[in-house]
């Protein structure tokens, strides 16, 4: 297992939910954290808090530049920022779909692209994208969300292939229902039976600490039995 001390992890969506749990877990393990948040005031003092807006094209480059300016290296990237407005394929208004594509697909791609040379230079660069079981099978009418999470899985596979010979390992993490603000609208699954952000964070710590010879392409996690994947 890779030792975390001295390694630098960038975590988007670190204000709340899974992103927050990941940043806290990695910080507790010894990683130096550069957190991407819309409101940097929400980060603990021991983190580098950078303003990051997934909807803005240049935000990732600015964040990476801040991280490199302070730490001089980037070893881990966890893309946890995401949104889930409803976008049905029959909707004539594509505003929600465009937002989903920007935040759930283009933003992680821009983050990876901005950090790429430094992840390569690490020799043991690690990338984890927060996809979803919705990207593996469609079970509701939010077409746009499922589309973008499937695209994120494909992006992660492409990154994994491109980075392999450089020691960069990428994993698409695909959870089901997680007890966060993003599932506040869900009524068919009791909240106490949903997966916990802290458990996902523990698994992500394991993923980013695995050596180059033990790489996980996709990790599917569910809080209930699935009828198909």
- Size of the chain, expressed as the number of residues it contains: 229
Positions annotated as catalytic residues are 145
Q: What is each CA distance from 138 to 63, 181, 200, 221, 229, in whole angstroms?
A: 34, 21, 22, 16, 9
pLDDT single digits (tens) 35-87:
999 998 889 999 999 999 999 999 999 999 999 999 999 999 999 999 999 99
C-alpha torsion sign, points 109, 111, 117, 123: negative
Continuous segment of H or E residues that includes residue 27:
helix 17-29
pLDDT single digits (tens) 54-67:
999 999 999 999 99
Q: Which domains does the chain have, with CATH numbers?
A: 8-221 (3.40.50.720)
Structure tokens at 4: 């975390």
Question: Residue 225: pLDDT band by 50, 70, 90 thresholds?
Answer: confident
C-alpha torsion sign, points 57, 58, 64, 67: negative
pLDDT single digits (tens) 141-173:
899 999 999 999 999 999 999 999 999 999 999
pLDDT single digits (tens) 211-221:
999 999 999 99
Bigger pLDDT: 228 vs 5: 5
Question: Which DSSP letter does residue 40 get?
Answer: G
């Amino acid at each position: 297992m890779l030792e975390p001390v001295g390694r630098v992890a960038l975590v988007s969506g670190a204000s709340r939910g899974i992103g927050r749990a990941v940043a806290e877990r990695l910080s507790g393990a010894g990683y130096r954290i550069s957190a991407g948040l819309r409101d940097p005031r929400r980060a603990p003092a021991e983190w580098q808090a950078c303003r990051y807006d997934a909807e803005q094209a240049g935000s990732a480059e600015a964040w990476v530049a801040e991280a490199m300016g302070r730490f001089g290296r980037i070893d881990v990237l966890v893309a946890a920022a995401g949104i889930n407005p409803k976008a049905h394929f029959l909707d004539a208004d594509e505003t929600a779909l465009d937002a989903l594509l920007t935040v759930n697909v283009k933003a992680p791609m821009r983050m990876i692209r901005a950090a790429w040379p430094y992840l390569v230079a690490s020799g043991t660069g690690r990338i984890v994208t927060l996809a979803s079981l919705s990207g593996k099978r469609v079970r509701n009418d939010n077409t746009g969300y499922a589309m973008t999470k499937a695209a994120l899985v494909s992006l992660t596979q492409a990154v994994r292939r491109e980075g392999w010979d450089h020691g960069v390992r990428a994993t698409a993490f695909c959870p089901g229902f997680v007890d966060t603000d993003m599932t506040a609208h869900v009524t068919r699954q009791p909240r106490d039976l949903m997966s916990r952000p802290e458990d996902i964070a523990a698994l992500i710590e394991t993923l980013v600490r695995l050596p180059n010879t033990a790489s996980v392409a996709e990790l599917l996690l569910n809080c209930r039995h699935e009828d198909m994947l």
